[in-house]
Amino acid sequence: MKKDTLKWFIILHVIILIFSVNSICSKKAAMYDFLSPKWIMFYAIVIFVLGFYAIAWQQVLKHLPLITTYANKAVTTIWGLIWGYLIFHEEVTVYKVVGALVVILGVYLVVSGDEEVNGKSSKNNQEVNENA
Amino acid sequence: MLKYALIMLTGTFIASVSQIVLKKAAEKEYPSKIAEYLNPMVMGAYIVFFGASLCSVLGYKKVPLSLGPILEATGYIWVAILGRIFLGEKIGAKKATGLLVIILGIVIASFGPNIVDAIR
């Protein structure tokens, strides 16, 4: 893995972690009445996080293949389990853990399946980008 | 809870549509950094994306946070289908298997105890 790719890979995971905060605030907002001050406050954070994500994601897409970004985004399922347990004291059942792991496996298959079909063209694009 | 889960799933579909539009927009060349964001396609996609976030907040009224991101994994299925239709992206056997595995994971997480009870 090239140093630049590693750098963007780490940035990607920081962005995914920040994005997972969005779910916490969505859940928090949902606990209050629609358009009540606290609902507005938490939804404002949701919008702020989405705004940050929008800008950051567009930049990450330029440095990493779409399939890499999407495959790694699947870890939000694990963050959901962690935040649900820690913040909302939700029951994390074995079904949820197995389901999340199966989803991640499925995402890996989807992404690697994409690589096999589009691998050659992706590689060529990467070479063009590196030369540019 | 089913009603709220369906609201969340609708939001995921809407978000997937905006992802396809963003991918289309990312493929274009723009004269400046600002133009990369301030153009009708990208701005429109993000307005729709924010609309999808409202569905998410509505859904979380009853959907647990530990299940939300798993339900949102349906986005991969929508992106694959929409990508096939609008971007001409192929769905090979491995990718199709992966999509089915994602559905299986969502079913296990959502209905796992019911399935086990039904089998018993």
State which amino acid sits at residue B1: M
Residue found by looking up tokens 């001409």 in the block:
B88
Q: Which residues of A touch B102 (CB under 8 A)?
A: 102-103, 106-107, 110
Q: Give the per-residue pLDDT at B29.
A: 81
**Spans of all domains in chain B:** 2-119
When the pLDDT of each residue in chain A is averaged and rounded to a whole number, the result is 85
Domain of A94, in residue numbers = 3-131
Residue A57: pLDDT band by 50, 70, 90 thresholds? confident
Decide: B105 and A87 in contact? Cβ < 8 Å.
Answer: no
d(CA A17, CA B1): 27
Using a CB–CB cutoff of 8 Å, tell me whether B47 touches chain A: no
Residue A118: pLDDT band by 50, 70, 90 thresholds? low
Q: Give the per-residue pLDDT at A113.
A: 86
Task: Give how many domains chain A has, as a whole number.
Answer: 1
Using a CB–CB cutoff of 8 Å, tell me whether B36 touches chain A: yes
Residue A120: pLDDT band by 50, 70, 90 thresholds? very low
Cβ-based neighbours of B107, under 8 Å, separated by 6 or more: A99, B115
Mean pLDDT value of segment A72-83: 94
Using a CB–CB cutoff of 8 Å, tell me whether B87 touches chain A: no
Give the DSSP H or E segment for B65: none
Residue A1: pLDDT band by 50, 70, 90 thresholds? low
Segment among A121-125, B46-50, B81-85 with least mean pLDDT: A121-125
A residues 4-23 closer than 8 Å to B (CB): 20, 22-23
Decide: A18 and A52 in contact? Cβ < 8 Å.
Answer: yes
d(CA B82, CA B111): 27
d(CA B48, CA B14): 7
Decide: A4 and A12 in contact? Cβ < 8 Å.
Answer: no
- Whether the predicted pLDDT of A131 surpasses 80: no
- Whether the predicted pLDDT of A125 surpasses 60: no
